[in-house]
């Protein structure tokens, strides 16, 4: 880390979800030397993550008390905490009220990112949409709609393996939702595995027998399967 900083690495740079190196270091035990190194290099101990949490809050959940103490000495007293002490910070982040707030903020952020992804889909910016759905999944990895939407993005981008992986995740979470099987079928079609495409599309039709899109897709897959077997 010291070599990276000496080479010009930005200690304030945010990652995939705006997670700074300091926030990441605070989310693991045994990282006290990394935390010290980043603080000495000018990392901001008062920079929040996407849910409004400070590095000291992340450390109180994941790291050792020594890390919390180091951060306490350089962190401004946030208005959210009525008592400002190391002991209170530890109790506060493990309280039911705090955890409920984090869950609520996670849901709000997920919905916001999903809405942005939907808007990107409408203007056919599939790369941006896939990225936004991926970010939303970081807050809720059990949302079948997000996997379905991202699978469609991959299909539009011609990425069959990724589309299939997300479609399978969708059906694992919501096995009675026909869209997951349809996207599996289209992913197999893209990968030129027409026999598997037929199987997935048949499953989609079992759940929605009158859907003309599914019927046409299955007819096309059957024709291609026959041609490839000749």
The DSSP code sequence of 131-169 is: HHHHHHHTT-TT-HHHHHHHHHHHHHHT-HHHHHHHHHH
CB 192 within 8 A of CB 184: no
- Output 173-179 pairs: Cβ under 8 A, ≥24 positions apart: 173/142, 173/143, 173/144, 173/147, 174/144, 176/207, 177/144, 177/148, 177/207, 178/203, 178/204, 178/205, 178/207, 178/208, 178/211, 178/214, 179/148, 179/204
Residue 19 has a pLDDT of: 80
Residue 79 has a pLDDT of: 76
| pTM of this structure | 0.79
Give the largest Cα separation in the chain, rounded: 76
Q: What is the pLDDT of residues 69-81, one digit of tens each?
A: 999 999 998 877 8
CATH 3.40.50.10480 for the 99-229 domain, yes or no: no
Q: What is the pLDDT of residues 17-66, one digit of tens each?
A: 568 899 999 999 999 999 999 999 999 999 988 888 899 999 999 888 99
Q: What is the pLDDT of residues 119-136, one digit of tens each?
A: 999 999 999 999 999 999
Token pair belonging to 120:
């990107």
- Please name the residues in contact with 183: beta carbons below 8 A apart, sequence gap of 6 or more: 148, 151, 152, 155, 163, 166, 167, 170
Residue intervals of the chain classified under CATH 1.25.40.10 are 99-229
Residue intervals of the chain classified under CATH 1.25.40.20 are 2-94
CATH 1.20.1260.10 for the 2-94 domain, yes or no: no
């Amino acid at each position: 880390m010291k070599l990276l900083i000496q080479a010009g690495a930005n200690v304030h740079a945010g990652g995939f979800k705006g997670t700074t190196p300091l926030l990441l270091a605070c989310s693991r035990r045994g990282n006290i030397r990394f935390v010290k190194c980043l603080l000495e290099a000018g990392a901001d101990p008062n920079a929040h993550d996407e849910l409004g949490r400070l590095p000291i809050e992340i450390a109180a959940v994941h790291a050792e008390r020594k890390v919390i103490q180091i951060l306490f000495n350089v962190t401004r007293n946030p208005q959210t905490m009525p008592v400002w002490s190391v002991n209170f910070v530890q109790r506060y982040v493990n309280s039911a009220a705090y955890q409920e707030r984090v869950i609520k903020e996670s849901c709000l952020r997920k919905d916001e990112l999903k809405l942005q992804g939907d808007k990107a889909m409408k203007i056919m910016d599939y790369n941006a949409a896939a990225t936004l759905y991926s970010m939303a999944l970081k807050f809720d990895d059990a949302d079948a709609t997000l996997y379905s939407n991202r699978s469609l993005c991959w299909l539009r981008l011609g990425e069959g393996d990724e589309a299939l992986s997300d479609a399978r995740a969708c059906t694992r979470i919501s096995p009675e939702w026909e869209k997951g099987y349809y996207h599996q079928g289209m992913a197999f079609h893209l990968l030129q595995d027409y026999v598997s495409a037929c199987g997935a599309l048949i499953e989609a039709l079992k759940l929605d027998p009158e859907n003309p899109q599914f019927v046409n897709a299955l007819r096309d897959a059957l024709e291609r399967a026959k041609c490839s077997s000749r």
